[in-house]
Amino acid sequence: MNAARPLKIWITRAQPGADATAARVHVLGHATLVAPLLAVEMLENVEVDLTGVGALAFTSANGLRAFARLSADRSLRVFAVGAATAQAARQAGFKQVLSADGDVAALARGIASRRAEIGGAVLHPGAAELAGDLAGALEQARVEVRALTLYDTLPTRFEPRQIEQLADVDIALVHSAKAAAALAVILKNHPQPHLRVLGLSKAVLKPLARAEVSQKTFAPFPLEAALLNLIDR
C-alpha cells in the first residue's frame, strides 16, 4: 500500500553508501535525512600481499573500495556478497565478478562450490568487525582463506540539532547490526516511540530488541531493494 504522503526516511548507513540509498529513496517519492550512524575509517600502513591468492571475497562495497584503493591488481576473480558489492567491483575494473545475491552463508556456499577453479587461497579484505563469519564457513568447507583488515567503522557523534530532527522522521533504514547497536544507544537516551525501523535482515535488528519504537520489520531478503520495498507497506 502506498503512503498517503511523502515520508521522511532516515538514512543511517555510512558514506558513500548513504547518498546512494538516499537517491533511491527520492525516486520512490520520499524525503530523506542523511545522518549516518557509522563512519568508515581506513587503516594506515596496510600491505596487500597477493602471493598464493586465487580469488577475492567481499562482504561489503566498503571492503571492495578499500582494497581497490590499495591494490592495482584487477586480475583476480571476485566473489561478492550481493549486487551492490558486485557493481562496485565492476566499477573498480574487475572483470570476473560473481555475486551471491544473498548473505554471507550464500557467499560461502558459492565460493566452496568453485573451490577447484580458484587455484589458491581466498583473500577476504574487509572491516575490523566483519559481517558474518565467512572465514569460518570457508574453513569448514576446506577452502583456504585469509582475512585482511583494511578499515573500521566507528559510531558517529550526534549533535543536538540532529537529535531534534528525529522528531520529524517516520522511518529509519538500518543496514548493519553495528549501526543498529548505535541506534539503540541513541533511542535509549532520546526515545522516538513513533519511529518505524526497517532492517536489512533479522540479524541486523537484533541489537534493537529492547528499543521502544512503533514497528521493527526486516527485509525478506538481505538486499537493499527488498528493504526499500518495505517503506510503503
CATH number where 71 lies: 3.40.50.10090
> What pLDDT score does 46 carry?
92
Q: Are 159 and 213 in contact (CB under 8 A)?
A: no
Asked if the structure places residue 2 within a domain, the reply is no
> What pLDDT score does 223 carry?
82
Q: Are 111 and 138 in contact (CB under 8 A)?
A: yes
| Residues 163 and 223 occupy one common structural domain | yes
| Residues 133 and 51 occupy one common structural domain | yes
> What pLDDT score does 1 carry?
43
Percent of the chain beyond pLDDT 70? 97
> What pLDDT score does 129 carry?
79
pLDDT at 109 over 70: yes
Last residue of a domain, one of 121, 152, 183: 152
Last residue of a domain, one of 133, 152, 171: 152
Contacts 24+ apart (CB under 8 A), 218-225: 221/102, 222/82, 222/102, 222/103, 223/82, 223/83, 223/101, 223/102, 224/21, 224/24, 224/84, 224/175, 224/200
Amino acid present at 116: A
- Determine the structural domain holding residue 205 and report its residue range: 8-37+156-228
The arithmetic mean of pLDDT across residues 44-71, rounded, is: 93
| Residues 133 and 216 occupy one common structural domain | no
Asked if the structure places residue 188 within a domain, the reply is yes
pTM of the entire predicted model: 0.82
| Residues 172 and 185 occupy one common structural domain | yes
> What pLDDT score does 117 carry?
92
Mean pLDDT of the residues in the chain? 92
Last residue of a domain, one of 84, 119, 152: 152
| Residues 55 and 32 occupy one common structural domain | no
Write the CB contacts of 197 (distance below 8 Å, at least 6 apart in sequence): 171, 172, 174, 183, 205, 208, 211, 213, 215, 216, 217
| Residues 53 and 142 occupy one common structural domain | yes
Domain count, the chain: 2
